[in-house]
Amino acid sequence: MTAHEFDLLDRAWSDITPPAARRMLIAAAAAFAGRGYHATTTRDIAAQAGMSPAAVYIHYRSKEDLLFQISRIGHTTALDVLTSATGPDPVARTAAAVTAFASWHAEHHTTARVVQYELGALTPEHLAEVVVLRRRTETAVREMIEDGVASGAFHVPDTRGATLAVLSLCIDVARWYQPAGHRTPADIGSLYADLVLRMLGA
Amino acid sequence: MTAHEFDLLDRAWSDITPPAARRMLIAAAAAFAGRGYHATTTRDIAAQAGMSPAAVYIHYRSKEDLLFQISRIGHTTALDVLTSATGPDPVARTAAAVTAFASWHAEHHTTARVVQYELGALTPEHLAEVVVLRRRTETAVREMIEDGVASGAFHVPDTRGATLAVLSLCIDVARWYQPAGHRTPADIGSLYADLVLRMLGA
């Protein structure tokens, strides 16, 4: 994880206190992204956070609890980003939502990868909580498309299929995005807003 | 890995001989997909293939060599699938290519995940070989779009951006596809062909 990404997470997760708990969560995200959840030990995470292995258990019940917190916060934040666009025009609202959601997946690609690829490591109870957040995200996109169809602005033969594709397109930015590449998160956001409006027949 | 997926890989990789080498590669793909490359040992792979740990080294130099073979074969096959559509009409050719490429990523989601998410574990030499295959894949999609633009069938303001999005959309099928879901690989293929043609302004 680069210093830029560390600072970004440190600001994004500023309401996680005390700072030691936040530092540990950032260290866990970096370690899971680097070598995968199963190959990471709480000892690795403590070392990366500059703390003792025992200190982890002051703030988190287990390694899985760290993953769950990252997943819960990641899904909640992404959902907030997606639904922050308001206004009466479905086309403008969809463009704004896709711009924000796709850019977020570029900017936060390290956490987004952990959140998306390590779902299988959550306990059934934690997975159930995350699935609720994922359904809300899907519903938010579907309702946005339905609003556009109802107003006559969008022409979509399969609303659920289009919902799936819009979400997938934005989420997969986290896989291919490279900070050294020539497209910035903002560039990707506007490219994708245009492509999604075309997909929706706007 | 389900019995269906095992049979699928056993057929898809039938030119890998002797059968012991093939069985080992399938076991490695299943193990990497399940717990990640770094958390898997050659001992785990041997056990899953029903062989002795030493038997792995008769066929492969290392755990990384197994990953490289999976990655090389996966990328080569996906590229073949993508470029198997021929014919003079760019719209029909693009629809056929996207149908085949998206369905392949559903059907082969286990291997596709390993191929896409574990690139960082390859040696620099092996990564360089895989990057050549990835560039060819990208070129195939870009040229298909350019043909459509040249013929007047497609209207695309940013060809490289559209190329990125088409590839991303199809590849990410491997992440969200669930064999128990109600959309079959063929359904996903035709849904995506339609969405891509809209994106390209066909």
Mean per-residue pLDDT pooled into runs of 10, chain A (202 residues)? 85 92 96 95 95 94 97 97 94 98 96 96 98 98 98 97 98 96 96 98 95
CATH H-level, domain B3-62: superfamily? Homeodomain-like (1.10.10.60)
Residues of chain B within CATH 1.10.10.60 domain(s) are: 3-62
First to last CA, chain A: 39
Count Cβ atoms within 10 A of the Cβ of residue A196 and give its class: 0-12 exposed, 13-18 middle, 19 or more buried.
buried
Q: Which residues of A touch B36 (CB under 8 A)?
A: 35-39
Q: Which fold has domain B64-199?
A: Tetracycline Repressor; domain 2 (1.10.357)
Phi and psi, residue A125, nearest 5°: -65, -45
Instruction: Report A:91-150 residues touching B (Cβ under 8 A).
Output: 113, 116-117, 120
Chain position carrying tokens 């999005």: B165
Q: Which of B181, B179, B178 is nearest to B4 (CA)?
A: B179
**CATH 1.10.10.60 correct for A3-61:** yes
Q: Which residue has the higher pLDDT, B74 or B1?
A: B74
- pTM for the whole structure: 0.96
Which residue type occupies B59? H
CB proximity B11 to A under 8 Å: no
> Looking at chain B, which residues constitute the CATH 1.10.357.10 domain(s)?
64-199
The answer to whether the Cβ–Cβ distance between B117 and A117 falls below 8 Å is yes
Alpha helices in chain A (DSSP H): 3-12, 19-35, 42-49, 53-59, 63-83, 90-107, 109-117, 124-151, 159-171, 173-176, 185-199
Distance CA A187, CA B142 (A): 19
Give the residue range(s) of CATH 1.10.10.60 domains in chain A: 3-61
State pLDDT tens for residues B165-197.
999 999 999 999 999 999 999 999 999 999 999
Average pLDDT value for residue range B144-161 = 97
The C-alpha atoms of residue B5 and residue B9 are separated, in whole angstroms, by 6
**Residues 6+ positions from A18 with CB-CB distance below 8 Å:** none
Tokens of A194: 């245009």
CA A4 – CA A100 distance, rounded (Å): 19
